[in-house]
Amino acid sequence: MLEEDSHTEEIIERVAALDIGKAEVVACVRVPGHGGTGRRLQEVKPYPAMTRSLLRLADRLGELGVTRVVREATSDSWKPVYYLLEAHGFETWLVNARDLKHLPGRPKTDKLDAVWLCKVAERQMIRPSFVPPPEIRRLRDVTRYRCDLVEARTAEKQRVEKLLEDAQIKLSVVASDIFGVSGREMMAALIAGQRDPKGAGPACPRPDARQDHPAGGGVHRVLHQPPRLPAHQDAGPG
């Protein structure tokens, strides 16, 4: 015996989905039809991925009364569109591509992909990914940039130590930190042309200063230098 289900299908009345490319954004908007027939009206339109065009897109979404805008997280191209629409007061959803992978019926073209994503979003078959608020995003960008700088600094320190090892200068053996005060003084002396191990030590003697000189048994070896182009090529294009 068939029984009536008390649950009704919840559909987002005014929703938009964006397929974001490097040079173009395809927007699909779905809104209720006229006369209460239950049919839906749909608009699919491409916009150049420039700020002026994105502002027109935001104005158009506002005219149609869109309440939710959905886009897929692909590389970093979603960020300018997301930030702009967020600043205009839209409820913006960023959807993980992994969540969309298991949904059936996805087409191959950008235009149909935006329509499919819009239909999926209006039936609430997807969930948004977490995007931190602007204050946290700015702090995260600064933190990540600092981590990149620290990694780059560590890589350059390792490069310097390897260069010294290639020149048979065991500076890391006699100095706990070759980039400390003593290590920097010894490297400065080497750069200045000092090849006497006794003269390459720190200027201020310490109890263990007799050990703070480049090891190498007095072997004089020229540090490797990168090759230079001939004089007529070294100046670059004129």
Would you say residue 154 lies in a domain? yes
pTM of the model: 0.62
Residue span of the structural domain in which 33 resides: 15-131
How many domains, the chain? Answer: 2
Residues 82 and 167 in one domain: no
**Any residues with CB less than 8 A from the CB of 11 and at least 6 apart, and which?**
122, 123, 124
- pLDDT profile of the chain (238 residues), mean per 10: 58 87 88 77 90 92 91 81 90 82 67 84 84 90 95 92 85 83 85 72 48 46 52 51
Cα 70 to Cα 26, 30, 126, 217, distances in angstroms: 12, 12, 10, 68
> What is the structure's pLDDT at 96?
81
Q: Which two tokens stand for residue 137?
A: 């995003």
> What is the structure's pLDDT at 189?
85
Residues 23 and 127 in one domain: yes
Cα 38 to Cα 21, 91, 154, 171, distances in angstroms: 32, 24, 63, 80
> What is the structure's pLDDT at 217?
46
Would you say residue 234 lies in a domain? no
